[in-house]
Amino acid sequence: MHTDTERCVRAVQSKDSRFDGWFFTAVLTTRIYCRPSCPAVPPKVENMTFLPSAAACQQAGFRACKRCRPDTSPGSPEWNARADSVARAMRLIRDGVVDREGVQGLATRLGYSARQIERQLNAELGAGPLALARAQRAQTARLLIETSALPMADVAFAAGFSSIRTFNDTVREVFALSPTELRTRAARGPGAGPQTPGVLTLRLPYRAPLHPDNLFGHLAATAVPGVEEWRDGAYRRTLRLPYGTGIAALAPRPGYVECRLALTDLRDLTIAISRCRWLLDLDADPAAVDELLAADPLLAPLVAKAPGRRVPRTVDAAEFAVRAVLGQQVSTAAARTHAARLVVAHGERVEDPEGGLTRLFPSMAELAALDPEALALPRSRRATLTTLVGALADGSLPLGIDSDWELARERLSGLPGFGPWTVEVIAMRALGDPDAFLPSDLGIRRAAQGLGLPHTPAALTARAAAWRPWRAYAVQHLWATDDHPVNLMPA
C-alpha cells in the first residue's frame, strides 16, 4: 500500500487508525517515522514519504515517534492473508526464527536460498531479514524495559541482542532515548503500576472493531483441563517454547488485549507474544473482512450485529491437528475428555501459582511413543491419530505458521481418516488460512438453511465464492447463529 501515495496521504491527514501497521510515514524534515494515526499535526505532503515497514524506516535513518509509538502498531494483516514466500518469511521472523536460527535457518525452512529470501524481502519491505529481525528486537527490548524491573543486561540478552553495546546503540538509534531514559519515561506514564514478580503484563494492540464473544468463547468452551482454563475473566494456557515453558493469560479490554506472561526463560518473549497474537487473530483487518461479507444481503445482518469477528486459532499447529482428530464425529465435551486423557498420561508438568494449569500438551515425540491400544478410541480413529502423530514427529508433515496452505492440505488429505472437514478446520485454525471453508459442517449447514442460503455442500461452496478470500470469517458468523457455548463470552 505504501506505493499509493494519494491514499496514504488521505489516511495520514484523517489520522485513520485502520491503516496502522499497513505502512509508516517517514517525515523528511524531522527524520521521524510515525503510524498513520499519529496525533501530531500532519506534516506537509512534500515532507512525507511512505515505507512498508518499521525496519525500512530505521534502515533509512528515521527514528520512532515518541508520541504515537509506531513500534506498537498491530502487524500488517497482509502477512496473514497470503501464503507466498514473503508472507511466510514475515510470519517466521515475527516468531523469532532469525534470532534463533539465523537467515540461513529462515531460508531452509522456506525452501529457498538465503540470497533469494534477502532479495524478495528487500523488494517488498525495503529491508532484509536481519534488519527486520533487528527492528523486532528493538520492540521486544522496549517492552522489557517498560514492563519489567530486569537489569538492562538481562533485557539485552532476553531481547536477542548479542551484546550490551549493540543493545544500547540500537535503542538510542531507534527511539532517540537511552534504555534508562525509556524506563524512567514509562514509570511516569499513565499505565505505570506495580508488577507481579515473574510476570510481564503487556497490551496487545489490534485494529478495531473486535468482537470477543466467539473468540474467547470458543477457546474457553474447548479448553483442555490442565492445559487451558477460563479464570477471572481471562483465557489462560500453558506454552511450550524454544527455551522453556510459559503461561499466558489473555483478557479482552477496550482497545487492546491484556496479556500476562510468566516465562521460565525471557528469551522466549518474542515468540510468546507472536503466538498470543496469532491465537487471537489480532493482526486481522476487520474493516476489509466486514465490508466484503456485508455485501451479501443474507450475511449483512450478521456482520452488522457483530462486526470484527476473529478466527480463534492455536498456539501450536501440531497440537491442534491432534485435537482435530480427537474431535472427529464427537461432541465438544467428548473431544475435551479424550485430549485430557492424553495430557494426564503424557503431558509434562508445570507450576502455576496463579491458577489450575498443571501440564503442557504432550509433544509429538511423546505421543509417537504411546501404545495405540491404550487409547479409548475406535480402531479407525486410533489408526488416524497414530499415523498423524508419526508424520508430525518424523517431520514428513510439517505444520506451522510457515506452512504452504495448499501443500499442507494435500499432505493431510493423503492421511487415512482425513476428510474435507478435518483438513479445512486445521487449515483455518492451525495454519491460519483466512479462506478455509467447512461446507459439510453440520452447524454451518443448519445456519445456511436458517438464513435461506443453499445448505448442500456443493451448492453452499458455489454460493460462498463471493465471500473469498474471507470465508473463514464467514464461518464464524454462521456458527454464531447457534447458541452453543463456543459462541458465548464465558461468565
Q: Are residues 382 and 462 in the same domain?
A: yes
Beta strands per DSSP E along 84-211: 200-205
Q: Are residues 243 and 328 in the same domain?
A: no
Same-domain check for residues 483 and 338: yes
Q: How many angstroms separate the CA atoms of 19 and 203, rounded?
A: 19
Q: Is 309 part of a structural domain of the chain?
A: no
Whole-number pLDDT of residue 371: 85
Count of structural domains, the chain: 4
Buried b (16+ CB within 10 A) or exposed e, 125-138: bbbbbbbbbbbbbb
On whether both 94 and 155 belong to a single domain, the answer is: yes
Query: Can you say whether the dihedral through the CA atoms of 203, 205, 208, 211 is positive or negative?
Result: negative
Here the CATH number for the domain that contains residue 165 is 1.10.10.60
- The string of pLDDT tens digits covering residues 395-449 is 999 999 999 999 999 999 999 999 999 999 999 999 999 999 999 999 999 999 9
Same domain flag for 436 and 479:
yes
123, three cell numbers = 523488494
User: Any idea of the CA torsion for 370, 393, 160, 276, to the nearest 10 degrees?
Assistant: -70
Q: Residue 291 domain-assigned?
A: no
Kindly list the catalytic residues.
34, 441
321 occurs within a structural domain: yes
CATH number of the domain where residue 61 is located: 3.40.10.10
51 with 161, same domain? Answer: no
C-alpha cell at 20: 496502522
Q: Read off the C-alpha cell for 168.
A: 544500547
pLDDT bin (cut points 50, 70, 90) of residue 190 is low
Q: What residue type is 192 in one-letter code?
A: A
- The answer to whether residue 307 sits within a structural domain is no
Query: Tell me: the pLDDT tens digits for 92-109?
Result: 999 999 999 999 999 999
461 shares a domain with 385? yes
> What pLDDT sits at residue 191?
52
Shared domain for 140 and 169, answered yes or no, is yes
Is there a single domain that holds both residue 96 and residue 221?
no
Max CA pair span of the chain:
72
Look up the CATH number of the domain holding residue 231: 3.30.310.20
For residue 273, what pLDDT is reported? 93
Judge whether 311 lies within some domain.
no
The residue out of 72, 96, 113 marking a domain boundary is 72
CA 25 – CA 19 distance, rounded (Å): 11
Question: Quick one: 338 and 471 in the same domain?
Answer: yes
Residues 93 and 167 in one domain: yes
68 located within any domain = yes
Boundary of a domain, candidates 72, 87, 105? 72
φ, ψ dihedrals at 159, nearest 5°:
-80, -10
Same domain, 55 and 156: no
Of the residues 28, 55, 72, which one is the last residue of a structural domain? 72
DSSP state of 373: G
- Average pLDDT score over residue span 74-91: 88
Full residue range of the structural domain in which residue 84 is found:
78-147+149-187
What would the pLDDT profile of 365-398 be if each residue is shown by its tens digit?
Answer: 999 988 888 888 888 899 999 999 999 999 999 9
